[in-house]
Structure 1
Amino acid sequence: MSYSKYVEFINVDKSYDGRNLVVDTLNLSISQGEFLTMLGPSGSGKTTSLMMLAGFEAPSGGHIRIAGRSLESVPPHRRNIGMVFQNYALFPHMTVAENLDYPLRVRKMAKAERNDRVRKVLDVVQMGAFAERKPAQLSGGQQQRIALARAIVFEPDVVLMDEPLGALDKNLREHLQLEIKHLHERLGITVVYVTHDQSEALTMSDRVAVFNAGKIEQLAPPAELYERPATPFVAGFIGENNRLSGEISGRNGDEYAVQTETGHRMIVRSQKDFSERQRVMISVRPERVRLDTTEACLNTFGGTVEEVIYLGDHKRVHVRVSEASTLIAKVPNAGTNIDIKPSQALSLGWDSGDAVLIPA
């Protein structure tokens, strides 16, 4: 049976001192076979939520369930949950095969089946040739593959991953992100992943829950999260963006006129309802900002280039548009003939559908 509410947090609170809530009324349902990432800054409640699901922390209030079964009185070792940590947590005195065999021995599995499972899962993570090595003889990326193999070898109901790639260098981290994503797709396991790395969350997840101050600010698929942030916090935390404050000054169908604090009048399309004089924030991604374009933009204004930063595939151009406001544009280095220099005066703009309107 496939559950649409396979893992459930129901009104879950967590406080360590009885006064301040680290997790505040968490309601979250995770589907069977889903890859859900809990994303947020340090202290936002994401790791505490994961630890409560694992059984290493007890909720101060509310309920946690897997497949309809309450976990209230179930100790961690009886929850049938696999865990992958940042520090690998492998037994240094055991070989790779012995590390993978350990959770099967604890479950009193027959030796022949244990050997078969260990061999198969080593092949899954492409580490079949390393069975007799000790963890100290492996690289960081290889150790993390073994930690992942150990988490799935006993066929758990859920696999929890707590910042598993945080100790690896950038290239290896990006490579393993795709490996974990493809492994999830092949095995169809339910994964709950914790990270503060936004690009990691966007790359790997079916849905992302953005945590802030113990609450979920937005729960959505990666593309929706990036293109349509629901709150100022999400807009600022996910990717880079330009933010302009203002208030609603008019409406025509699904297009709103916004008078910004920079003195500009802007038109923004939105499916949400806003009222006259409501305080709002306009969010525009740097790649949506067009510089000195011959195409007609609904929102255009002049500015002065403050800085041009070369980043290989694109340039980041900082343009001052008012005394207190600078906007950032990303200009691809391929296919554009715009020569941009500091102190240059230019026009910039975007269309009404390129920006997002968010309640302030």
Structure 2
Amino acid sequence: MTARNYVEFVHVDKSYDGRTLVVDDLNLEIAKGEFLTMLGPSGSGKTTSLMMLAGFEAPSAGRILLAGKSLVEVPPYRRNIGMVFQNYALFPHLSVAENLAYPLSVRQVSKAESAERVRRILDMVKMSAFAERKPGQLSGGQQQRIALARAIIFEPDLVLMDEPLGALDKNLREHLQLEIKHLHDELGITVVYVTHDQSEALTMSDRVAVFNEGRIEQLAPPSELYEHPATPFVAGFIGENNRISGRIVARDDSRYTVETASGTRLCARSERNFALDQPILLSLRPERVRLGDDGADGENRLTCTVKEIIYLGDHRRIHLRLGDDTEIVAKVANTAGLGGVADQAEAIVSWGGADMVMLADGKAG
């Protein structure tokens, strides 16, 4: 075992009916102390993978290892893994302090040490004043703090979190994201986190594994996923994305000319190797589309029609139709102004060739 492969999935399959693979040949290494998020839509295999790591599901094939030792024959209660669920799973008849002390009593930790650990962890999650309350007397966010504290109080080898913030409102969810990340940084624990919320994954993770149909489409740090998606699925799933289809009609080193179905030609730049006449999907983030004179230096400069302007507080979303009926969205900060752009009027938009990510489009043509 090395630091990089503290947790390992080796050629892991999972099928419930013997035919359809819910998890298909999963190979994944997680470093000690890493915060790794399994991200994907419902049915993509992320939660099943987490449940196999926890021991609540058995793989149909392959091996799962923790610290170099196989977990396949180890029951869940002997894996020394902390779990945090969306529904908190606290004992309603026990106080907060008793809930936290329970995993320590199971491990036969002395009462004196247990009391000290409970005190420390309550301070850590800012819940010291609530030690004698029952879970039913706490808010959802407070209960989730206690669930998190209970998962780490016995110093587990690994902490697994399955959609832990899904039941909370947006503001509280965003606040607890940062709290969990700070706890991870402070304690140096290894966390495997499951969510379908891409903003949550980008905020908290060292790396993100994007799942689709039982396989990992891309495994990378958040910034790389956003700036350099490897597949059309990842480009569409991570953040907002304008998708423009076309074919390559010219190339000059890393500069490609892509022609859309209507004959519009766009300049794209990529270090990846694509062939002439190859179907291409161009991924363009809305914040990279510039309006009016702001785009005077763009390699791609087009006239379009403004379909709709939507006010969203800190920014506006401008829905645009290009000449060939392709629709794109521009995101403009409210401090930037709209440069004379008006609803249902013509506007000039532009962006650089490097603002687009070129992806092989197997569905084109």
| Residues 4-43 of structure 1: pairs in structure 2 closer than 5 A | 4-43=4-43
Deviations 1:214-243 (A, max 9, x none): 000111100110111111111111111100
TM value normalised by structure 1? 0.98
SS of alignment partner, residue 225 of structure 2:
helix
5+ long unaligned stretches in structure 1: none
Alignment-derived partner of residue 292 in structure 2: 292
Structure 1 residue 42, shift from structure 2 partner: 0.4
Cα distance in 2 for residues equivalent to 1:293 and 1:11: 53
Alignment-derived partner of residue 157 in structure 1: 157
Structure 1 residue 2, shift from structure 2 partner: 6.6
Alignment-derived partner of residue 201 in structure 1: 201
Alignment-derived partner of residue 211 in structure 2: 211
Deviates more, 1:294-303 or 1:175-184: 294-303
Cα distance in 1 for residues equivalent to 2:267 and 2:167: 44
Amino acid at match of 2:316: K
Amino acid at match of 2:176: L
Q: Does the CA-based 8 Å contact 1:262-1:325 persist in structure 2?
A: no
SS of alignment partner, residue 257 of structure 1:
strand
- CA change 1:262–1:293 in 2 (3 A) is farther
Amino acid at match of 2:11: N
Amino acid at match of 2:342: K
Alignment-derived partner of residue 245 in structure 1: 245
Cα distance in 2 for residues equivalent to 1:281 and 1:151: 44
Cα distance in 2 for residues equivalent to 1:333 and 1:261: 34
Amino acid at match of 1:44: S
Deviations 1:243-281 (A, max 9, x none): 011111121111111112242111111111111111110
Cα distance in 2 for residues equivalent to 1:202 and 1:155: 26
Cα distance in 2 for residues equivalent to 1:315 and 1:307: 10
Q: Does the CA-based 8 Å contact 2:332-2:338 persist in structure 1?
A: no
1:329 aligns with 2:335: no
Cα distance in 2 for residues equivalent to 1:273 and 1:204: 33
Structure 1 residue 189, shift from structure 2 partner: 0.4
Amino acid at match of 2:55: G
| Residues 313-352 of structure 1: pairs in structure 2 closer than 5 A | 313-336=314-337, 338-352=339-353
Q: Does the CA-based 8 Å contact 2:14-2:24 persist in structure 1?
A: yes
Structure 1 residue 114, shift from structure 2 partner: 1.1
Cα distance in 2 for residues equivalent to 1:66 and 1:323: 54
Q: Does the CA-based 8 Å contact 1:267-1:299 persist in structure 2?
A: yes
Alignment-derived partner of residue 82 in structure 1: 82
| Residues 230-309 of structure 1: pairs in structure 2 closer than 5 A | 230-294=230-294, 295-309=296-310
Cα distance in 1 for residues equivalent to 2:165 and 2:230: 28
Cα distance in 1 for residues equivalent to 2:29 and 2:293: 45
SS of alignment partner, residue 185 of structure 1:
helix
TM value normalised by structure 2? 0.97
SS of alignment partner, residue 77 of structure 1:
helix
Report sequence identity in percent. Answer: 67
- CA change 1:269–1:288 in 2 (3 A) is same
Cα distance in 2 for residues equivalent to 1:292 and 1:101: 62
Structure 1 residue 358, shift from structure 2 partner: 0.7
Runs of 4+ in 1 over 4 A off after TM superposition: none
Cα distance in 2 for residues equivalent to 1:221 and 1:327: 27
Q: Does the CA-based 8 Å contact 1:8-1:29 persist in structure 2?
A: yes
1:355 aligns with 2:360: no
Deviations 1:58-111 (A, max 9, x none): 000000001101001100011110000000000000000110111111111111
Amino acid at match of 1:357: M
Q: Does the CA-based 8 Å contact 1:308-1:340 persist in structure 2?
A: no
SS of alignment partner, residue 181 of structure 1:
helix
Q: Does the CA-based 8 Å contact 1:244-1:261 persist in structure 2?
A: no
Alignment-derived partner of residue 191 in structure 1: 191
Amino acid at match of 2:157: D
SS of alignment partner, residue 151 of structure 1:
helix
Cα distance in 1 for residues equivalent to 2:271 and 2:75: 46
- Alignment RMSD (CA, Å): 1.1
Deviates more, 1:51-60 or 1:102-111: 102-111
Cα distance in 2 for residues equivalent to 1:314 and 1:93: 47
SS of alignment partner, residue 359 of structure 2:
strand
- CA change 1:352–1:323 in 2 (3 A) is closer
Deviations 1:302-337 (A, max 9, x none): 110000000011110011103531110011110335
Structure 1 residue 170, shift from structure 2 partner: 0.5
SS of alignment partner, residue 293 of structure 1:
helix
